[in-house]
């Protein structure tokens, strides 16, 4: 286990960073030592943590769709209505998008409440968890609204990586690669020599690269805590990466995938500008080619021009003289950027090991109602031994095979399920729902599902039609496109198939 001290030369903003496999298993003991009451904000696709008794846990969706002012406002409302006071603190468990949005809420609520960050994706662990930047997107660009809000404690547990799909794992690896290019030296050597171990999710290897990444970022942040100059080097690959995300409506690429494409373009631009020699360019590209790399045939280079102009650091480019020798460059023209993009995208297409990236065939909201987070422990003779984590892993893996993006949400509270359906109705193409006990009583939930005008698949893990009479009544069944019961967590996979291959192909979308 590693422990870093996040000293960033700002008043009252020193914090501990603990990194190690299994560290979040001790979250109860760690948080019990902090003053105030913990309020957890947890990505709905993440298994429940061993929270202290009487903790308030808000489960929310994850993904780029939540990086909006509407989500931040709704989260603040929920925290206030849950009884949070200025003396309490927020514990955020999720990926970089949730850390960004919930961090902004923590900075605004009561003019700032303490925050504990527990990153649960490779991208968040290696980069987003420290530095203090929070923010949300606007339709025209990424992170155009935000503020600085540093965490008060950071807990990084690489065991979360075991639940990620390959694209999500690679997204964080590409951020690690970015930092190694900036840091050079031991970090570059270690990352380039341990690609296989990192892909295999080796806990020791990930603990080491996360430690090196955060150490490097901390040193940069110390020198420029408010991001006024020197810290801009951390944006290697991000100017073009953000433009790619915006030009594809934040639906196609993982953030790290877009950054990787931006890094390859920055290497090409560095060479074209005469900063980088050919041998260095080849060394970097040969190392990058050891990864499986994203490629999208339909990406229109000229569509990036407007998004580039709206980037927060428009006109400032992070280029490389050599590995470990970045430079901020100004005055580069669009035709030069375009030429580098065309060349780099062509290289990505033929680099050997690529995977095709395309807009998702569908975005599916997967909702679980009361007590579903206790799968595996709750009446295993009826509900089986599979855990909520097993469910999420299985569904995500199958969704990736279908080219479908999934957003998970679980709550024991009907109002939170309704609010999530209403908030995401305009984003998702279909809904898979296991309402739990609300199947029989949730009139408001039924009405929200009917009003969202999206096909609904109702799922039950047990064979409810053969159980007690009161369990056989379903308020959801009349409005559902399909219903599956008694198949365990495999029923969720069948629900995805029926929505994607049936309802979404045949039904006109509003």
**Catalytic positions, please?**
370-371, 378, 383, 434, 437, 458, 460, 467
| Cα(267)–Cα(35) distance, integer angstroms | 48
| Cα(429)–Cα(404) distance, integer angstroms | 10
Distances from the Cα of 294 to the Cα of 51, 212, 472, angstroms: 37, 25, 47
- Angle subtended by helix axes 414-424 and 443-451, to nearest 10: 0
| Cα(461)–Cα(486) distance, integer angstroms | 5
**DSSP state for residue 326 in the 8-state scheme:** E
H or E, element range at 198: helix 195-199
- Angle subtended by helix axes 238-247 and 255-272, to nearest 10: 130
The SS3 of residue 407 is: strand
Give per-residue burial for 371-388: e unless 16+ CB within 10 Å, then b. ebbebbeeeeeebbebbb
- Residue 281's CB: how many other CB atoms inside 10 A? 16
Q: Which residues pair with 93 in a beta bridge?
A: 42, 118
| Cα(125)–Cα(332) distance, integer angstroms | 32
Distances from the Cα of 9 to the Cα of 5, 222, 228, 367, 384, angstroms: 12, 6, 14, 43, 52
| Cα(423)–Cα(431) distance, integer angstroms | 13
Burial (CB count <10 Å: 0-12, 13-18, 19+), residue 473: exposed
CA angle 490, 493, 498 (to 5 degrees): 130
Nearest Cα to 96, choosing from 116, 60, 120?
120
Between strands 316-322 and 325-330, the pairing is antiparallel
Range list of β-strands (E), 375-420: 404-410
| Cα(501)–Cα(313) distance, integer angstroms | 43
| Cα(414)–Cα(80) distance, integer angstroms | 18
- Cα of 235 vs its chain's centroid, Å: 18
């Amino acid at each position: 286990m590693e422990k870093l001290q996040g000293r960033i030369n700002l008043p009252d903003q020193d914090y501990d960073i603990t990194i190690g496999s299994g560290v979040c298993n001790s979250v109860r003991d760690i948080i019990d030592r902090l003053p105030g009451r913990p309020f957890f904000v947890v990505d709905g696709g993440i298994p429940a943590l061993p929270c202290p008794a009487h903790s308030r846990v808000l489960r929310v969706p994850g993904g780029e769709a939540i990086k909006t002012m509407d989500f931040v406002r709704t989260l603040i409302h929920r925290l206030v209505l849950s009884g949070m006071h200025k003396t309490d603190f927020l514990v955020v468990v999720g990926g970089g998008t949730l850390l960004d949005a919930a961090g902004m809420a923590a900075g605004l609520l009561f003019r700032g409440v303490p925050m504990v960050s527990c990153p649960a994706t490779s991208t968040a662990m290696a980069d987003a968890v420290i530095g203090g930047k929070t923010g949300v997107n606007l339709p025209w660009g990424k992170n155009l609204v935000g503020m600085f809000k540093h965490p008060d404690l950071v807990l990084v547990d690489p065991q979360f990586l075991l639940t990620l799909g390959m694209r999500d794992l690679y997204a964080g690896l590409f951020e690690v690669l970015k930092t190694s290019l900036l840091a050079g030296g031991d970090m570059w050597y270690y990352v380039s020599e341990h690609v296989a171990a990192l892909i295999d999710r080796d806990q020791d290897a990930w603990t080491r690269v996360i430690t090196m990444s955060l150490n490097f970022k901390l040193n940069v942040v110390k020198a420029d805590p408010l991001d006024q100059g020197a810290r801009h080097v951390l944006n290697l690959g991000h100017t073009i990466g953000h433009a790619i995300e915006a030009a594809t409506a934040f639906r196609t690429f993982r953030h790290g995938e877009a950054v990787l494409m931006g890094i390859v373009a920055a290497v090409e631009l560095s060479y074209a500008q005469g900063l980088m020699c050919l041998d260095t360019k080849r060394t970097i590209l040969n190392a990058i080619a050891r990864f499986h790399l994203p490629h999208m045939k339909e990406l229109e280079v000229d569509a990036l021009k407007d998004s580039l102009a709206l980037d927060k650091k428009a006109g400032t480019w992070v280029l490389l003289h050599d590995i470990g020798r970045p430079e901020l460059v100004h005055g580069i023209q669009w035709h030069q950027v375009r030429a580098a993009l065309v060349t780099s995208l062509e290289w990505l297409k033929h680099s050997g090991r690529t995977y095709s990236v395309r807009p998702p065939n569908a975005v599916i909201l997967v909702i679980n109602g009361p007590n579903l987070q206790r799968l595996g422990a709750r009446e295993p003779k009826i509900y089986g031994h599979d855990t909520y984590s097993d469910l999420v892993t299985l569904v995500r893996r199958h969704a990736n095979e279908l080219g479908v993006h999934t957003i998970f949400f679980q709550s024991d509270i009907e109002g939170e399920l309704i609010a999530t359906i209403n908030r995401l109705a305009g984003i998702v193409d279909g809904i898979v729902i296991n309402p739990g006990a609300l199947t029989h009583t949730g009139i408001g939930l039924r009405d929200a599902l009917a009003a969202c005008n999206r096909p609904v698949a109702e799922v039950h893990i047990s064979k409810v039609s053969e159980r007690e009479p009161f369990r056989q009544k379903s308020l959801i069944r009349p409005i559902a496109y399909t219903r599956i019961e008694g198949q365990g967590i495999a029923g969720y996979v069948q629900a995805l198939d029926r929505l994607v291959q049936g309802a979404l192909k045949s039904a006109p979308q509003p």
